[in-house]
Structure 1
Amino acid sequence: MSPSTDRHVSILATGAHLPGDPLDNDALARVCGPLPDDVLEGIQVKRRHWMVDPVTGEHRTSTSAMATAAARQALERAGVEAAEVDLIVLSTASPDYLLPVAATYVQEQLGLENCAVIEVRAGCVGAVQAFDIARRLLADGTYRTALVIGAESVSPLLAPVFLGRDPHKVRMRDRLTVYTFGDGAGAVVLRGGEEGSAHEGSRQVFATRSMGGARKPGMLIVGGGTDAPLHEQQQRTRLMDIKLDIPGTAQFGPKVFVEGIHDMLRRSGLALSDIDACVLPEGNAEYFASEYGTAGLSEEDQATLSKIIVENLTDVGATGSAAVPLALDAGWTEGRIRPGDTVLLLAIEASRYLYAGLTLTWEAPFPTS
């Protein structure tokens, strides 16, 4: 369908959910040992929320429950009843179960007997990919009202690293992983307009790519898959584990970002100076931003980017699929994203060095509730 006959797709509202009280760095030091001050400064995370009790390891909620809570807030702010939703697209790398997909549990918790559900298995890039899937299905008239959700529960992988152990005997590289990640969910309500109502001024451009086909993964979550027989998996020190290539991500991650932003600018015809808000989780992390120039971003673009980045890494940590919608929600509710703004969503994922970007024109007024 040509752009002239596409339906205009609008963001009506966002929502967010963070489980439990925030855990600051002092709280983590008590359970897994401290990190040096310069390392803490490099990762920039001061607080995060976990669905796991850091003392007992008990689960206090679930991925689908967090996703539903974020969805309910977004629907309330949008003034949309759950019954009006005919499409749910959810991204997560930490579902409640391998099957049924977590999106069907969101459907159930919202009381929807019938609804189209699509799930993207990904980390940071997944929510942007989910957004574009929903956008296209609304633009062509297949559905009218969609929930796009990113939800992640990383803490269940982190707790076994330190539970029952002397905090000072936890390896420094394991501590770095524990301090980096948080849990949460973010949601967006999208609605398609009438046929022929799309217009060039709000044209949404999407791009995604994996740049790590010839590299080892920057992040690997092991366990529960089919890489080895189950009896062999059960012999591992931890049944499930998260492994980070910290030097590799620090070196190659900024190159993925720079390629992603250049790709999006080429496709959209925009200059960085045309963008009012760049939703870029981890965009201000020192270890990441310090390499922009080496990766090929001009000094002028670096200066421009520093003024438009919208992120909340300090308060929530690295949250995988939830990162972009949580940052988007924070930007909107804090007034950093306003009606008429040209917004670039850009997610970078270390797993196989992926990026996903989407440009859009923001329309939702400042939330009143």
Structure 2
Amino acid sequence: MSFLSTGAQLPGDPIDNTTLERLCGPLPEDVLTGIGVRHRHWIIDPETGEHHSSTTGMATAAARLALERAGLEPGDIDLLVMSTASPDHALPAAGTFVQERLGLDRCAVVEVRAGCVGAVQALDYARRMLADGTYRTALVVGAESISPLLAPVYLGRDPFRVRMRDRLTVYTFGDGAGAVVLRAGEEGSAAEDPLGHTFATQCLGGGRRPGMQVVGGGTDAPLAEQRRRDRLMEIRLDVPGTAEFGPQVFATGLRDVLRRSGLSVDDVDACVLPEGNAEYFSREFESAGIGAADHSALQKIIVENLADVGATGSAAVPLALDAGIAAGRVRPGHKVLLLAIEASRYLYAGLTLTWQGPGHV
């Protein structure tokens, strides 16, 4: 089974921190440095909140690019697995709209409702379906539209009256979509992955307050009660909690994947970890149990693009993988570890693979 290609879609022009400072007020310099985001892309116009794209629109664009790079047509796909926490509609599943936009009357569609860990979980599901012969060619897409929840924080308000915790949310998140194409190989052929695959996922937050929660638009309360809230939907972050416990989740996930795979950090050519170099994250590695030698080795192999795209939920890992391939950080034959950390309930998902697709042309 081969990982053939990736595709990415970032909506609109990049939005810099100067623009956000004008719209919702400044962040302290140390906080801005800590989150590490310089630009992000939104499906909305930051000045007006008007939408110019959608989750499924971005997902379809990323999918088409991945298929083009793989030399395939949409009709070659018989399994589509999508992850998102921000679908266009509660139902039907967002993946079915991507199927429709790709012109497929029939296709197996599975959807994972998750944030950052979702794309890795979706990749593992797809590769298992290919490995057992159920399907031949799979398209995996992670897409997220977070900006529609951010605009109500500042639109029509004095920027200096926006709460600091709300500003932090606005500065942190971006929208985007990433896609990966996988194809089953003939048994014993050169297309089989010599590394094999190891997958690990776990939720460590069963007894903890959520690190991130999207409140509203669900069934937690009567709709009439929800309408009386200040905002119909909003993102709530436990900033101290994520800063303290997030690195512990990373360390646990890394150790789990390495133990299951029999690999060491030195055996890995690229660790795709979208937030791995954020200061608030990496400065806690040692206290989380990552030794000095492994920490030093990780700094050389971490592949991430947080500064350019922000925190993008389900899109984070495929976007970082795509950027790593474009930059030559992930090359054919590389042993790659995909590791996603999600603050919502402190989840991790990791997958090892050998990258076999070509670089971007």
Q: From 282, 297, 302, give the equivalent of 1:289.
A: 282
1:110-156 deviation line (CA, Å, top 9, x unaligned): 00000000000000000000000000001111111111000000001
Alignment correspondent of 2:241: 248
- Which residue identity is paired with 2:177? A
Distance between the aligned counterparts of 1:196 and 1:215, measured in 2? 46
Residue 184 (str. 1) matches residue 183 (str. 2): no
**Is 1:331–2:324 an aligned residue pair?**
yes
Change (3 A) 1:54 1:199: closer
Q: 2:202 is matched with which residue?
A: 209
Aligned to 1:64: 56
Residues 1:276 and 2:269 aligned together:
yes
Q: Aligned partners of 2:285 and 2:186: how far apart in 1?
A: 42
CA deviations on 1:183-242 (whole Å, 9 max, x unpaired) are 000000110012354757230100000000000100000111111111111110000010
More off after superposition, 72-81 vs 194-203: 194-203
Question: How far has the Cα of 1:367 moved from its partner?
Answer: 2.0
Check the 8 A contact 2:185/2:192 in 1, yes or no.
no
RMSD value over aligned CA atoms?
Answer: 0.9
Matches of 1:269 and 1:66 in 2, distance apart?
Answer: 37
Secondary structure at the aligned position of 2:133 is classed as coil
Q: Which residue of 2 aligns with 1:166?
A: 158
Q: Deviation string for 1:311-348 (max 9, x for gaps)?
A: 00000000000000000000011111011100000000
C-alpha deviation, 1:168, in angstroms? 1.0
Q: Name the structure 1 match of 2:300.
A: 307
Q: Distance in 2 between matches of 1:320 and 1:130?
A: 13
TM-score by length of 2: 0.99
- Structure 1 residue 84 corresponds to structure 2 residue 82: no
C-alpha separation between the residues in 1 aligned to 2:89 and 2:182?
27
One-letter amino acid of the counterpart of residue 174, structure 2: G
Question: What is the distance in 2 between the residues matched to 1:199 and 1:315?
Answer: 34
Matches within 5 A, 1:80-119: 80-119=72-111
CA contact (8 A) 2:339 2:348 kept: yes
Find the counterpart in structure 2 of residue 46 from structure 1: 38
In 2, the alpha carbon distance for the partners of 1:305 and 1:224 equals 40
- Distance 1:74-1:230 versus aligned 2 partners, 3 A rule: same
2:359 aligned residue: 366
Residue identity matched to 1:83: G
- The question of whether the paired residues in 1 share the 8 Å contact of 2:74 and 2:104 is answered with yes
Deviations 1:26-55 (A, max 9, x none): 011111011111111100000000001111
3-state DSSP class of the match of 2:129? helix
- Native 8 Å contact 2:93 2:111 kept in 1: yes
Structure 2 residue ranges without an equivalent (≥5): none
Q: Paired residue for 1:10, among 2, 22, 39?
A: 2
Residue in structure 1 matched with residue 315 of structure 2 by the alignment: 322
Shift of 1:275: 0.1
Aligned to 1:3: none
Aligned residues: 360
Residue 6 of structure 1 corresponds to which residue in structure 2? none
Q: Deviations over 1:39-86 (max 9, x none)?
A: 111000000000011111111111000000000010111110111001
Counterpart of 1:212, as a letter, is G
Return the alpha-carbon distance in structure 2 between the equivalents of residues 200 and 350 of structure 1.
31
* Alpha-carbon separation, structure 2, partners of 1:169 and 1:60: 28
**Partner of residue 228, structure 2:** 235
1:226 pairs, out of 219, 222, 237, with 219
| CA distance in structure 2 between the aligned counterparts of 1:258 and 1:73, rounded to whole angstroms | 34
| Secondary structure of the structure 2 residue equivalent to 1:100 | coil
Please give the secondary structure, in 2, of the residue aligned with 1:248. helix
Secondary structure at 1:359's aligned position in 2?
A: strand
Using the aligned pairs only, state the percent identity: 71
